[in-house]
Structure 1
Amino acid sequence: MSADRNQVAAGHPGGDPVATPSGHDRRVLTVLAAVAVVALLVDLGTKQLALSLLADREPVRLLGGALYLTLIRNSGAAFSLGADYTWVFSLVTLVVIGWIGWLARSLRSVPWAISLGLVLGGALGNFLDRVFRAPGPFLGHVVDMFSLFDPRGQIWPIFNIADSALVTGVILAVGLELTGRQRDGRRLTARERR
Structure 2
Amino acid sequence: MAEAERIIGTPDVEGAAPEETEAQPRGRRRVLVLFAVAVVAYALDLVSKLIAVEKLENHPPIEVIGDLLKFELVRNPGAAFGIGEAFTVIFTIIATSVIVVIARIARKLYSLPWAIALGLLLGGALGNLTDRIFRSPGRFEGAVVDFIAPAHFAVFNLADSAIVCGGILIVILSFRGLDPDGTVHKD
With normalisation by structure 2, the TM-score equals: 0.86
* One-letter code aligned to 1:157: A
**Among 85, 88, 103, the residue aligned to 1:86:** 88
| Structure 1 residue 24 displacement after superposition | 0.2
Looking at structure 2, the residues matched to 54 and 78 of structure 1 have their Cα atoms a distance apart, in angstroms, of 20
**1:85-164 pair list within 5 angstroms:** 85-149=87-151, 155-164=152-161
Looking at structure 1, the residues matched to 161 and 106 of structure 2 have their Cα atoms a distance apart, in angstroms, of 22
Alignment pair present for 1:28 and 2:25: no
Looking at structure 2, the residues matched to 180 and 11 of structure 1 have their Cα atoms a distance apart, in angstroms, of 23
Which residue matches 2:4?
none
| Structure 1 residue 10 displacement after superposition | 4.9
* One-letter code aligned to 1:51: V
Looking at structure 1, the residues matched to 161 and 56 of structure 2 have their Cα atoms a distance apart, in angstroms, of 20
Deviation per CA, 1:12-60: give whole Å up to 9, x if none.
Answer: 5xxxxxxxx8210110000000000000000000000001111111111
Question: Higher RCO, 1 or 2 (CA under 8 Å, sep at least 6)?
Answer: 2
**Among 145, 169, 174, the residue aligned to 2:171:** 174
| Structure 1 residue 183 displacement after superposition | 1.1
Looking at structure 2, the residues matched to 104 and 57 of structure 1 have their Cα atoms a distance apart, in angstroms, of 42
63-72 or 47-56: bigger deviation: 63-72
Which residue matches 2:19?
none
Which residue matches 1:185?
182
* One-letter code aligned to 1:159: F
Gaps of 5+ in 2: 1-11, 16-22
* Partner SS for 1:103: helix
* Partner SS for 1:183: coil
Looking at structure 1, the residues matched to 13 and 184 of structure 2 have their Cα atoms a distance apart, in angstroms, of 20
* Partner SS for 2:145: strand
| Structure 1 residue 63 displacement after superposition | 2.2
Identity of aligned residues (%): 44
Pair member with larger Rg: 1
* One-letter code aligned to 1:144: D
Gaps of 5+ in 1: 1-8, 13-20, 150-154
| Structure 1 residue 181 displacement after superposition | 1.4
Which residue matches 1:59?
61
- How many residue pairs get aligned? The number is 170
Which segments of structure 1 move beyond 6 Å, counting only runs of 4 or more? none
Deviation per CA, 1:126-160: give whole Å up to 9, x if none.
Answer: 000000011110011110000112xxxxx211000
With normalisation by structure 1, the TM-score equals: 0.83
Please provide the CA RMSD for this pair. Answer: 1.6
